[in-house]
Amino acid sequence: MRRMLSSRVNAVRESATIRMSAIAREMKRAGEKVLDFSLGEPDFDTPAHICEAAKKAMDEGFTHYTASAGIPELREAIAEKMRAENGVDASAENVIVTPGAKQAIFEAMLSVLDEGDEVILLEPAWVSFEAAVRIAGGNPKFLRRKEKSVNYEDLRAVVTEKTKMLVVNSPNNPVGYVMDERELREIAEFACDYNIIVLSDEVYEKIIYGKKHVSIASFEGMEERTIVVNGFSKTYAMTGWRVGYAVAPIEIVSAMTKMQQHSATCAPSISQRAALAALKGSQECVAEMVAEFKKRRDLIVKRLLKLGFSCEPMPEGAFYVFVGIPAHALTAAFGDSEASEGDEKRKGVAEDIIFAEWLLRSALVVATPGSAFGEAGRNHLRFSYATSLENIAEGMERLENLLSQ
């Protein structure tokens, strides 16, 4: 029989973030008292006025297909937001509404990449960027950034004839850094000089602590080469509604719309109405959630540092903390019989994966192994602090008990 699966899908690993959360979900279903720091998903309810707009849409029978690129009012509202808040001169034609921001990333990559085109990813990079590049037939080129900013020379060192795209993700998942204007300007200059398209994932734009978000699309010469991706999941606690968007040059939006016509057709009609209410309504709910995230960040970082994990610098955005696992903690995990080095099956498995499994087994604490975000993430763990202060306190207590045994 012929090989069943395509080489494209074989080149892609399962999403580590989704995998870890699926494990946590299953364990919770089985009645285990799991503390879940795996998924980047706000635990708040979607604000009431947003839910009301969805109910109203249903009552009005707004439950059918919409225009593939999204309802005109929402495309216009997104363009208006881009002009008012991001300094990007967008109109509704520059906007496509998608079923989640992830879909926008896939459509963008499928629209601009040819077989063998290279995409620069700054490591550690969120798990699905690499997958999207590979599925679109491209090749990821990793450049280590971690907490140190990248500059023109760093980028020049990895650029080749085949480089077509560069991905920027600020505020960042998994590290939580926020790129300042100087770094973004240098990346923009590089993109213009080398004629490279920038995909800027700005989905954590509003989840930022005391810093100002700058969109790379706002720099001179960038509007014509930037695909800004954003969504409603994180800002408005709307993960299940599946609604995201991209703002890009019309040519790219048209190509993405073609992809969408042939795949999802459109984002859910009801969710689009809800998203419109989110943008047009009071932003007080966002400020409240961000204030709460900040308290959680302060607590989890303090406790992890106390346990010897390293976290440099302090996360300034998103809701993740990306920590280096201290040697004594690795020793404790490896000392455990089930995770011992002698086990054949364990050979070649990154230490952080073994550590994360040990943490899950021994303390019912779920975190995502850092190596899922690339080589630069080895020996690290990502904790999502989109969970209550009580859960954070208890999770850290379990970690403390485990490491003091």
Query: Which residues of the shown chain bind ligand GLU in the complex (CB under 6 A)?
Result: 15, 17-18, 39-40, 102, 126-128, 173, 384
Alpha carbon 44 to chain centroid distance? 18
Amino acid at 245: Y
Residue number with CB closer to ligand GLU (38 or 66): 38
Residue number with CB closer to ligand GLU (68 or 200): 200
Residues 177 and 317 sit within 8 Å (Cβ to Cβ): yes
Q: What is d(CA 394, CA 405) in angstroms, rounded to the nearest whole number? A: 17
At its nearest, how many Å lie between ligand GLU and the CB of residue 37? 10
At its nearest, how many Å lie between ligand GLU and the CB of residue 391? 16
Q: Which two tokens stand for residue 80?
A: 């208006």
Nearest residue relative to ligand GLU (C-beta): 40
Q: What is d(CA 369, CA 357) in angstroms, rounded to the nearest whole number? A: 9
At its nearest, how many Å lie between ligand GLU and the CB of residue 64? 28
Residues 183 and 328 sit within 8 Å (Cβ to Cβ): no
What sign results for the dihedral spanned by CA atoms 200, 201, 205, 207? negative
Amino acid at 30: A
At its nearest, how many Å lie between ligand GLU and the CB of residue 116? 26
At its nearest, how many Å lie between ligand GLU and the CB of residue 374? 14
Q: What is d(CA 377, CA 366) in angstroms, rounded to the nearest whole number? A: 17
At its nearest, how many Å lie between ligand GLU and the CB of residue 250? 28
At its nearest, how many Å lie between ligand GLU and the CB of residue 21? 7
What is the maximum span of the chain, computed from C-alpha positions, in angstroms? 64
Rounded (5°) CA angle 179-291-41:
75
Residue number with CB closer to ligand GLU (128 or 235): 128
At its nearest, how many Å lie between ligand GLU and the CB of residue 125? 11
Residue number with CB closer to ligand GLU (169 or 272): 169
Closest by CA to 220, choosing from 191, 251, 194, 248, is 191
Residue number with CB closer to ligand GLU (252 or 386): 386
At its nearest, how many Å lie between ligand GLU and the CB of residue 244? 11
At its nearest, how many Å lie between ligand GLU and the CB of residue 140? 16
Residues 297 and 315 sit within 8 Å (Cβ to Cβ): yes
Residues 68 and 266 sit within 8 Å (Cβ to Cβ): yes
Residue number with CB closer to ligand GLU (186 or 201): 201
Residue number with CB closer to ligand GLU (126 or 385): 126
Q: Could you tell me which residues come within 8 angstroms of residue 147 by beta carbon, excluding any fewer than 6 positions away?
A: 175, 177, 312, 313
Residue number with CB closer to ligand GLU (127 or 367): 127
Residues 225 and 199 sit within 8 Å (Cβ to Cβ): no
Residue number with CB closer to ligand GLU (208 or 339): 208
Residue number with CB closer to ligand GLU (98 or 128): 128
